Amino acid sequence: MRNDYNNRLRAISKHFLVGSGLSNVAPLQRAAGTQLVYSILESGNDWTEQLKFWGLSTPVAMMSGAPVENFVRDFGKQWIDDYWLSQELWAEMLDPTNQVNVFPALRWVPSVFAKWKRRAPVARKYLTEAYKGLMNQSIKSLERHGGSFNSLSIIPKLLRESPSLANAHEDMEMTTFMGGIFDAAVGSSVMSFQTLILALAAHPEAQRRAQAEIDDGFGRDNPLPEHMDTGKLRYVNACVLEAQRWRPLGAFAVGPFGLPRKSVVDEEVLGYHIPKGSSILINQWTIAHDPDFYEEPTCYNPDRFFRDPVGAKKGVKQEGRKALYTFGAGRRECAGKDFALQNIRIALSLILWAFDIVPDGPLDVDAQKGFTPAIAMIPIPFKVKFVPRKGKKALLEEKRRADIMFSEMLGKEA
């Protein structure tokens, strides 16, 4: 059953996560980014809360066919808060400093002495509720559009092909599987974006250079062009890639590695024997900070990716090298890598078009002190101001166009 869903999801995901599917989803990402810009303006710099909405926006629409507003309408704003609480609880369970993750024998400790055992069912409850909400909206989307639904949404497509649609929300395997993909998309993008904002707030010279490129690309006058090709913004793209290299999300502060994979057969790699059942980890931090490969690897310097596709210093052999290892490598590399990078690049372009990001207090960019010692490398909360470069009227007009684009795309029928 799981393989069945897995194969179908992979096939359908091709329409959204790679190639021309990525171009199809770009207008939705642009609309979400524009809404983010306006909400930052309106909320008076309460940007981390607005980022949570942005993080949900495109994955929610892409997966369920409904905008986040529908979730808020049906389940209240609480759905958003509960979703993020579920992520915090889940991260707490996976926290590598949690002793049971280091000494598995501790799992036999009775729950009265083991806080994590009492927290796990709470995490499960919140996650399950969030996933059910996703499934519920997907069923509604399908019903709203009748059998002819063929819009930008993965779950309604799967449900349409499912003979047992009536019971879809009871199908916990499908619900959890979809929820897992959803989680992979949301938190990682928001956390990476926080690091990017920190990097740019600490490097105003990089901001100025990115803004010059954006102003040239989008035109200095309002409104924004109909077709906004952020793929051509090479320096903006370099800012995004460099933030991923500089502070890789998976290289949590207490250890340099990403998530483990398990080998399923005995294997020989470059003369090393890897027995079946070994845990395999990518040493993300060391790869990303290798002084033999990068010039001054500890510095945030987008120029390295502007000059070279993999950011290498001059004269270094690059054969088989990837630009980033933050997304893993090999067959199980992140399925949403290009989607995520495009989403972040679009939102950053819009933010830098609209604002200067200015520190509003001290910024700690130190990899140990400035970031959380948790499952992912996330900046400790910091304060920045978003100083507008455009008038409120221009931003409101863009927001209005974004709202229309959103509803047109989600309402589109075959």
56 in contact with ligand HEM (CB under 6 A): no
257 in contact with ligand HEM (CB under 6 A): no
259 in contact with ligand HEM (CB under 6 A): yes
Which of 334, 365, 375, 384 binds ligand HEM (CB under 6 A)? It is 334
Which of 158, 196, 210, 249 binds ligand HEM (CB under 6 A)? It is 249
CA–CA gap between residue 32 and residue 25 (Å, rounded): 11
CA–CA gap between residue 403 and residue 153 (Å, rounded): 18
Number of residues lying near ligand HEM (CB under 6 A): 24
Q: What is the DSSP annotation of 115-178?
A: HHHHHHHHHHHHHHHHHHHHHHHHHHHHHHHGGG--SS-HHHHHHHH-TTGGGGGG-HHHHHHH
Binding mask 313-332 for ligand HEM (x = CB under 6 A): -------------xxxx--x
Residue 363 Rama label (left phi>0; alpha psi -120 to 50; beta): beta
261 in contact with ligand HEM (CB under 6 A): yes
Q: Which is nearer to ligand HEM, 175 or 192 (CB)?
A: 192
Pick the stretch among 168-176, 177-185, 305-313, 379-387 that binds ligand HEM (CB under 6 A): 177-185
Return the amino acid letter for 32.
A
Least separation in angstroms between residue 27's CB and ligand HEM is: 16
243 in contact with ligand HEM (CB under 6 A): no
Q: Give the H/E segment covering residue 217.
A: helix 204-218
* Cβ neighbours, 10 Å, residue 326: 27
Number of helices (H) and strands (E), helices first, in the chain? Answer: 15, 6
CA–CA gap between residue 350 and residue 402 (Å, rounded): 12
Q: Which is nearer to ligand HEM, 222 or 263 (CB)?
A: 263
Alpha helical stretches, state H, 247-336: 284-288, 303-307
CA–CA gap between residue 173 and residue 281 (Å, rounded): 27
Q: Which residues 6+ apart lie within 8 Å of 362 measured at CB?
A: none
As given in the structure block, the two tokens for residue 320 are 């088989």
Is 299 marked as binding a ligand? no
Which of 127, 340, 378, 384 binds ligand HEM (CB under 6 A)? It is 340
Least separation in angstroms between residue 63's CB and ligand HEM is: 8
192 in contact with ligand HEM (CB under 6 A): yes
Q: Which is nearer to ligand HEM, 340 or 354 (CB)?
A: 340
Q: Which is nearer to ligand HEM, 328 or 370 (CB)?
A: 328
Least separation in angstroms between residue 343's CB and ligand HEM is: 7
336 in contact with ligand HEM (CB under 6 A): yes
339 in contact with ligand HEM (CB under 6 A): yes
123 in contact with ligand HEM (CB under 6 A): no
**In contact, 91 and 374? CB cutoff 8 Å:** yes
- Binding site membership for heme: which residues? 334
- Binding site membership: which residues? 334
Positions touching ligand HEM (CB under 6 A) are 17, 59, 181, 184-185, 188-189, 192, 249-250, 258-259, 261, 326-329, 332-336, 339-340
